[in-house]
Amino acid sequence: MITALAAAKAYAATQKTGGIPGADAGAIQGASFGDLLKNVMGDAMQSSKAAESAMAGHVQGKNQLIDVVTAVSSAEASLETVMAVRDQVISAYQEIMRMPI
């Protein structure tokens, strides 16, 4: 489960880069919300694939167990972040739909 401190650090990191992890602030001025979601989902998928690769490497005797645990933890944090964003987007949509016209 993600802690409040980890969430605060992730939020602060995304604020410096405009919400795209690993990007610099100057390159993302023209990025749309759709591009942002696409990049975040790509990062989550990459993290998941890295965890799977680490597990396969451990089974073959190439990786240490700590590497596998670290990769799986990173993938889990990415998945929890994506799910939290999804929940907030759904909540915002439902709130908009409840607004009187």
Q: What is the pTM of this model?
A: 0.60
Interval 44-85: pLDDT, tens: 899 999 999 999 999 999 989 999 999 999 999 988 988 888
Q: What is the model's pLDDT at position 86?
A: 87
Interval 4-32: pLDDT, tens: 666 666 666 766 655 555 555 555 566 78
Torsion of CA 35, 38, 39, 45, to 10 degrees: 180
**pLDDT averaged over every residue in the chain:** 80
